[in-house]
Structure 1
Amino acid sequence: MRDDTRQWIEADKRHAWHPFTPQDAWTDPAHEPLVIVRGEGPWLWDSEGRRYLDGNSSIWTNIHGHAHPSINAAIRDQLGRIAHSSYLGFAHPLAGELAEKLCSFFPAGTLERVFFSDDGSTAIEVAMKMSLQFRMQTGHAERRGFIAFADGYHGDTLGAASLGGVSRFFERFRGMGPEVGFVRSVEELETKDPAGINAVVIEPLIQGVNEMRPWPAGMLRALRAWCDRHGVLLILDEVMTGFGRTGTLFACQREGVIPDFLCVAKGLTGGYLPMAATLTTGRIYDAFRGPAENAFYYGHSFTANPLGCAAALASLSLFESERVLEKLPAKADHLAGLLSRLQADRDEVVDVRQCGLVAGIELRTGLGAEVCLKARDHGLLTRPIRDTLVLMPPLCVETEHLDLAVDAIRSAIRSLPPAAELR
């Protein structure tokens, strides 16, 4: 190990606190974490000079690859002007331009307003608080309950966490946030009394932290119809699925559904900078007009950060100039073929689940973490959710990169010790 690598790791173990990480395991002297120092395209390099395919887009964020010249140039240009200015009582050119661009992806008269925040959790918090205040200001304050789907994940701030269905993450905080009921299907939702329900929240097309589990075709349309019949607001969490992951720019476009709130983050800036947006309708916005007490008193110091806006606009323009969406179906089909053969070849693979370039490879119990670690030896970097390996590369990957990723998983499984293979 190089001296600088050792120094970085020692400082980290002495002072840093990593998310979703048992700290005793992290700080164990035998544990040697990777120190990522560089990226280019779909590749990452660690401090020891080893190269890896970024198999989960740096926690589901990167879209066009690392160090993309166009996004780099946009950030540098904006940095030469101003890095940040307040969005409270002021405006700046790129924020209005980005808001207009985001709204342009939806039919006129639908999603017309954009509220910027910092990350996926805050995008959800905005939708939750905005929907509750909307009810208060339209004479329906009694409609304060939320419905979420079992095993879903919507962030870690207290309001967003109350919607979470993964017990390991959220059970200890039950009852500390808003009123939330949980269902597993639209059919179960039909049994609920809608009278006090404010909004339903869902990850459209596929649940992420629930081991990459797709919803049945047509489910989202059925959910929109139920909400319309009962006057319930629909909040779509597209923090993971947005910006091309499922094959369309937004997952809801696959079923022609327009929500009352659309929450995006992660890929909004191409995975470069922390930034989020909550899109909503003119009907919601109009309820906040009028006297000062109707205003939405919520915000963040870095709302509409100019560097983030510059990165986001550059990222969105790449979807057109590089024909990203046009190229995705062939890549998704190629990945589907690779995963099908992997499942047929290896008994350790229990199931494969895919939606666009989002895939989950479920392994036999106890193998997930081991296979991920061994895949590093074959040039693939990703993380498991329990025993499901996530394969969600940047959209810039080519078929040979997908070949490498699946071959790395196959080789990692083959390299398991006999005791692991028998589990």
Structure 2
Amino acid sequence: MESIIWHPCSQMKDYEKNPIIHVKKAKGVYLFDEFGNSYIDGISSWWVNLFGHSNERINNAIKNQLEVLEQVIFAGFTHDKALELSDKLIKIVPQNLKKIFFAEIGSSAVEIALKMSYHYFKNIGLKSKNKFVYLENGYHGETLGALSVMGEPLYRKAYEDILIKNIMVEFPNCYRCPFGKTRENCNIECFEFMKKTLENHAEEVAAVIVEPLVQFAGGFKMYPAKYLSKLRELTKKLNIHLILDEIATGFGRTGTMFALEQAGIEPDFLCLSKGLTSGYLPLSLTLTTDEVYYAFYDDYEKNKSFLHSHSYDGNALACAAACETLNIFSDENVLENNKKKYTLMRQLIENYFKDLDCTGEIRSVGFISAVEFVRDRYSKKPFDPSLRFGFKIYRKALEKGVLLRNLGDLIYFLPPYVINESEIEKLVESSYFATKEVMDENIY
């Protein structure tokens, strides 16, 4: 039967051979399909689920909120859970971030940050600052404004002709370093690309946007915190805003509550979403400074207002889920307890994958691990994309009861924080045997 639903990030024709999995229920780290098969959710259902499916605490928080208020217009009105969430967040983000703008999804948070940055400079009389700098392979969402600062060609190329023209900088490629360095002897030579670009375009650049420490959809490329420190120092010097997109890295995923903590920096804008509600409901936040806020704060007739809105801004149910998510972090010492789990996951991945002929690099930070596969591990030559090596591993893993996703010929491990040791072992072991089976098919 032909699908009525057009699924995201898919070539729908693939589903003729590989039917869509119909999930009937979920609990903890497990998804259960219509036939009773179970799958370990090794990717937190696209990086959003922190504390497991059908988490009793979050379930109850949403149920309780349903009895009080589900939704109210956020222009001219507020509610208890939005105020509670704001108060909780302001206590754990960098001290310079004093104001929060609510929306629904990550790309909206990015669009808001871009618009605020440009509009800020316009309001203070610097109208020439109308461009943004972004990193090659960076991903910030797929709405048109977010696409204009996306460095990943897979998602961008089809729309190139209608995008705002911004400035892309070579990314810090630690696996294939253009300077021949390794992670161990790196001196951040690659920052020179960013330095030259910003110095040459300082008069026209409003902001730089980056994913701190890890480029997720761009291939889980990981780079040193020192790059961020140097970037913050330079942007301050040149009067350029720094936008940190922590939509995927935030809420403990890199080992600290926010990735920026590992660089010891304060951005001008911080974008949050995904794990904010532990995957229950769409909610995103853009945090910024008093300096930015007060550039818009004036008499109405001065036309300095930030006129941006979404119908579900500040949704009360989503805010209730987010408040309980933050409560779980504080009540259950999550960041500390995660260390033992992700250390085990890293060790198992190393033990299983390090000696495979197709393993190019294993990289990890916090509760994120990724394995990049190559045709030749010494030359780092990639597979022919037509082989779909990584996709075949994804399919084999499903047969073994594990949900992974591949990005090209890379697989990644990003489970919910409630996963236990035996589940971690199954996740990694099943992924290894799936990889071995694909290798044994002699496709290369």
- By the TM > 0.5 criterion, same fold? yes
- For the residues of structure 2 that align with 1:417 and 1:304, how far apart are their CA atoms? 48
- For the residues of structure 2 that align with 1:328 and 1:170, how far apart are their CA atoms? 35
Give the superposition deviation at 1:350. Answer: 2.1
- For the residues of structure 2 that align with 1:333 and 1:264, how far apart are their CA atoms? 26
Q: Which runs of 4+ in 1 moved over 3 A?
A: none
Give the superposition deviation at 1:168. Answer: 1.8
Measured at CA, do residues 24 and 107 of structure 1 come closer, stay the same or move farther in structure 2, by a change above 3 Å?
closer
Residue of structure 2 in register with 1:18 after alignment:
7
Give the superposition deviation at 1:348. Answer: 2.6
- For the residues of structure 2 that align with 1:317 and 1:36, how far apart are their CA atoms? 29
- For the residues of structure 2 that align with 1:136 and 1:281, how far apart are their CA atoms? 17
Pairing 1:253–2:274 present: no
Pairing 1:54–2:41 present: yes
Residue of structure 2 in register with 1:3 after alignment:
none
Question: What whole-Å deviation, never above 9, does each CA across 1:29-82 have from its counterpart, x for those lacking one?
Answer: x43221112111111111111111100000010011111111000000001112
- Equivalent pair of 2:353/2:432 in contact (CA under 8 Å): no
Residue of structure 1 in register with 2:215 after alignment:
207
Residue of structure 2 in register with 1:294 after alignment:
304
TM-score (norm 2): 0.89
Question: What whole-Å deviation, never above 9, does each CA across 1:158-198 have from its counterpart, x for those lacking one?
Answer: 00011111112102322533331011243101112112110
Residue of structure 2 in register with 1:4 after alignment:
none
Question: What whole-Å deviation, never above 9, does each CA across 1:352-389 have from its counterpart, x for those lacking one?
Answer: 11111112111233321111111122221111000111
Q: Which amino acid aligns with 1:74?
A: A
- For the residues of structure 2 that align with 1:107 and 1:170, how far apart are their CA atoms? 32
Pairing 1:87–2:77 present: no
- Equivalent pair of 1:99/1:114 in contact (CA under 8 Å): yes
Give the superposition deviation at 1:422. Answer: 4.8
* 1:187 paired residue among 184, 187, 192: 192
Q: What is the percent sequence identity of the aligned residues?
A: 33
Question: What whole-Å deviation, never above 9, does each CA across 1:129-154 have from its counterpart, x for those lacking one?
Answer: 11111011011111111000001110
- Equivalent pair of 1:371/1:412 in contact (CA under 8 Å): yes
- Equivalent pair of 1:343/1:350 in contact (CA under 8 Å): no
Uncovered stretches (5+) of structure 2, i.e. residues with no partner: 171-189, 375-382
* 1:388 paired residue among 410, 413, 427: 410
Pairing 1:118–2:123 present: no
- For the residues of structure 2 that align with 1:416 and 1:129, how far apart are their CA atoms? 46
| Superposition RMSD in Å | 1.4
Q: In structure 2, the residue corresponding to 1:335 is in which secondary structure?
A: helix
- Equivalent pair of 1:265/1:277 in contact (CA under 8 Å): yes
* 2:231 paired residue among 211, 223, 237: 223
- For the residues of structure 2 that align with 1:191 and 1:146, how far apart are their CA atoms? 15
- For the residues of structure 2 that align with 1:241 and 1:295, how far apart are their CA atoms? 31
Residues 9-408 of structure 1 mapped to structure 2, 5 A cutoff = 10=1, 13-26=2-15, 28=16, 30-108=17-95, 110-184=96-170, 185-192=190-197, 193=200, 194-292=202-300, 293-364=303-374, 365=383, 366-408=388-430
Q: Which amino acid aligns with 2:133?
A: I
Q: In structure 1, the residue corresponding to 2:132 is in which secondary structure?
A: strand
Give the superposition deviation at 1:209. Answer: 1.0
Q: In structure 1, the residue corresponding to 2:32 is in which secondary structure?
A: strand
Question: What whole-Å deviation, never above 9, does each CA across 1:334-362 have from its counterpart, x for those lacking one?
Answer: 12211211223422322211111112111
Measured at CA, do residues 148 and 358 of structure 1 come closer, stay the same or move farther in structure 2, by a change above 3 Å?
same
Question: What whole-Å deviation, never above 9, does each CA across 1:255-287 have from its counterpart, x for those lacking one?
Answer: 111110000111110110011000001111111
Residue of structure 2 in register with 1:5 after alignment:
none
- Equivalent pair of 1:162/1:176 in contact (CA under 8 Å): no
Uncovered stretches (5+) of structure 1, i.e. residues with no partner: 1-9
Give the superposition deviation at 1:97. Answer: 1.3
Measured at CA, do residues 103 and 179 of structure 1 come closer, stay the same or move farther in structure 2, by a change above 3 Å?
farther
Measured at CA, do residues 60 and 271 of structure 1 come closer, stay the same or move farther in structure 2, by a change above 3 Å?
same
- For the residues of structure 1 that align with 2:442 and 2:352, how far apart are their CA atoms? 16
Measured at CA, do residues 417 and 203 of structure 1 come closer, stay the same or move farther in structure 2, by a change above 3 Å?
closer
- For the residues of structure 2 that align with 1:172 and 1:377, how far apart are their CA atoms? 33
Residue of structure 1 in register with 2:181 after alignment:
none
- For the residues of structure 1 that align with 2:438 and 2:215, how far apart are their CA atoms? 29
TM-score (norm 1): 0.93
Give the superposition deviation at 1:294. Answer: 1.3
